[in-house]
């Protein structure tokens, strides 16, 4: 398999959560996305757009309402059983958003980081301890930290523990679910740089979920923009950030200051107004129509498909502005 072959493919992936009264939360509606081997795909959008649900559904933490996920061409189960987690855990892992709540406070760091090896390998306790010590060093901690508890560490250190826990099984694909958003700005770049280094040294493929577009642009090869459970734009990260085509991407980028002053000069500043519609009562037509400064009549009745742009390679946009020719 070459670096350009898709490692993970979601096709029409849909996740609805049932509610009282027969209603459904449309968390994901028909997301089709390819993630290539050794690629970092950034997934952005406001909270409530379905980013985390997508990541969790992709690796089986939620069962799928409809659609498929294939991994190296093999279709993954619609609903994982315990044996499936056992089978796929060595290939796919997740780094969670909140390093405060995602680490069990009653377990030592050694138990937390070594748990996956205990469950999914035949290594002896001493071999697991050695491997944990190596991984703590690899993420910038000390081997003797393994006897301590999570509350003894800072937020950045806890996220390093989360990184070691996810990567000790040496997976091929990792979903990083807002791995830096709970951290101080001063340590966000350290964790991003650590992930970038490990990605390069291990040949990892990453789905990097975040709402900070400038950080996603910095770390990602491609960027996908989600709005109310759908992907509205996808393409090379720099192009999507500096030349957004979908009106939602334009306002999302415009409302996200760029820390690099040179890059900031090239960014159009805008603000996003109005509320994201309820995922329980999804509007007909384009889901962004009630907030879109370029809305047309057709937008309120017909759903735009995600299609390739005719004037730019590797870029797909779901907007009637590009579908009328």
Where on the chain is the footprint of ligand SF4 (CB under 6 A)? 246-247, 286, 288-289, 292, 294-296, 299, 304, 319-321
Residue nearer to ligand SF4 on the CB measure, 272 or 321 = 321
Element spanning 14, H or E: strand 6-18
- How near is the Cβ of 25 to ligand SF4 at its closest, in Å? 22
Of the candidates 39, 35, 41, 45, the residue with the CA atom closest to the CA atom of residue 6: 35
- How near is the Cβ of 209 to ligand SF4 at its closest, in Å? 22
- How near is the Cβ of 298 to ligand SF4 at its closest, in Å? 7
Q: At CA 58, angle to CA 196 and CA 76, rounded to 5? A: 120
Contact between 165 and 94 under an 8 Å Cβ cutoff? The reply is no
- How near is the Cβ of 307 to ligand SF4 at its closest, in Å? 12
Torsion of CA 106, 179, 60, 131, to 10 degrees: -60
Distance CA 157, CA 203 (A): 23
Tokens standing for residue 129: 């301890």
Residue nearer to ligand SF4 on the CB measure, 202 or 298 = 298
Tokens standing for residue 40: 């970092």
Residue nearer to ligand SF4 on the CB measure, 2 or 271 = 271
- How near is the Cβ of 321 to ligand SF4 at its closest, in Å? 5
Alpha helices (H) along the chain: 51-58, 82-88, 109-120, 125-138, 155-167, 185-202, 213-219, 237-242, 247-254, 261-265
Residue nearer to ligand SF4 on the CB measure, 51 or 320 = 320
Residue nearer to ligand SF4 on the CB measure, 267 or 320 = 320
């Amino acid at each position: 398999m070459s670096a350009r072959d898709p490692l993970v493919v979601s096709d029409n992936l849909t996740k609805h959560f049932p509610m009282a009264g027969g209603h459904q939360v449309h968390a994901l509606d028909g997301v089709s996305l390819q993630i290539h081997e050794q690629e970092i795909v950034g997934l952005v959008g406001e909270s409530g757009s379905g980013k985390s649900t997508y990541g969790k559904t992709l690796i089986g933490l939620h069962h799928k309402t409809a659609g498929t996920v294939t991994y190296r061409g093999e279709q993954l189960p619609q609903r994982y059983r315990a044996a499936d987690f056992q089978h796929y855990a060595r290939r796919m892992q997740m780094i969670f958003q909140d390093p405060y709540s995602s680490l069990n406070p009653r377990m030592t760091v050694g138990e937390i980081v070594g748990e996956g090896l205990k469950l999914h390998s035949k290594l002896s306790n001493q071999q697991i301890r050695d491997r944990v010590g190596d991984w703590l060093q690899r993420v910038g901690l000390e081997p003797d930290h393994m006897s301590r508890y999570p509350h003894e560490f800072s937020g950045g250190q806890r996220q390093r523990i989360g990184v070691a826990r996810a990567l000790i099984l040496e997976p091929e694909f990792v979903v990083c679910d807002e791995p830096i958003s709970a951290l101080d700005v001063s340590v966000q770049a350290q964790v991003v740089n650590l992930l970038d280094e490990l990605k390069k040294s291990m040949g990892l493929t990453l789905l990097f979920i975040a709402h900070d577009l400038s950080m996603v642009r910095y770390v990602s090869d491609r960027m996908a923009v989600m709005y109310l459970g759908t992907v509205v734009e996808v393409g090379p990260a720099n192009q999507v950030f500096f030349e957004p085509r979908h009106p939602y991407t334009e306002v999302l980028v415009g409302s996200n200051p760029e820390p690099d002053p040179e890059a900031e000069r090239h960014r159009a500043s805008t603000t996003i107004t109005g509320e994201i519609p309820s995922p329980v009562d999804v509007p007909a037509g384009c889901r962004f129509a009630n907030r879109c400064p370029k809305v047309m009549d057709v937008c309120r009745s017909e759903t735009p498909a995600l299609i390739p742009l005719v004037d730019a390679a590797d870029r797909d946009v779901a907007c009637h502005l590009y579908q009328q020719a």
